[in-house]
Each structure stands twice: as structure tokens, then as C-alpha cells.
Amino acid sequence: DIQMTQSPSSLSASVGDRVTITCRASQSITGYLSWYQQKAGKAPNLLIFAASTLQSGVPSRFSGSGSGTDFTLTISRLQPEDFATYYCQQSSSIPWTFGQGTKLEIK
């Protein structure tokens, strides 16, 4: 299985901050990387697929980059509704696997 490791596991930030979450794969997944946002008690929501393509309807303050084994999710200016848990996920090979999550909290 491909292991996905996110860092940090938790992060405190303020409204208006720029934040970056990283995700590392245990082997190359080329661009087969997606990012999801999950709010408490809700299903995950797709933000970015193919490492850097913004899903329809997702605000442009979210961006993704990377290829191979190292990827980042950046939120350019945090809004109150962005405080949530974020997951990366690879679809390069079965079994598809997720990172352990990054909880973004209000400072």
C-alpha cells in the first residue's frame, strides 16, 4: 500500500492568514492526488484533484501543487468557514489511501 503522510497534524491560524499543508507519498504517485475538506459531522468535500485542479465551485483561495511524492495545499487568505480537517488521497494504485488528516483550528 502507498502510505500518505500529512504535516502538520494540527495547525492554529487566524482569519486572513496564508496556510500550507503538506502531503508526502511513500512512492511516486505522479499527479494522482486529491485534497478534501471535512467539517465536523459532515462528509468530506472535494477541493482539488489531479494535484492542482480546482473542483468546480471551490473558492480560488484554495490551490494545490506538487508531483511525484510531495504535494501541498495552500489556502491564501483563511476565511471563518475554512476551519476544518483536510485530507489528501492518492488514486495512483489500489488500495486508494488517505493521509491521516490535518485539523485547522482558529488561533
Partner 1 sequence: QVTLRESGPALVIPTQTVTLTCTFSGFSLSTSGMCVNWIRQPPGKALEWLARVDWDDEKNYSPSLRTRLTISKDTSKNQVVLTMTNMDPVDTATYYCARTSNLIEVPPAFDFWGHGALVTVSS
Chain contacts with partner 1 (rule: CB under 8 A): 1, 31-34, 36, 42-46, 49-51, 55, 87, 89, 91-92, 94-101
CB of 16 to partner 1, least distance (A): 29
- Assign 3-class secondary structure to the chain: CCCEEEECCEEEECCCCCEEEEEEECCCCCCCEEEEEECCCCCCEEEEECCCEECCCCCCCEEEEEECCEEEEEECCCCHHHCCEEEEEECCCCCCEECCCEEEEEC
Taking the least distance from each CB to partner 1, the nearer of 17 and 72 is 72
Minimum CB distance to partner 1, residue 17 (Å):
25
Rounded to a whole number of angstroms, the minimum distance from the CB of residue 61 to partner 1 is 20
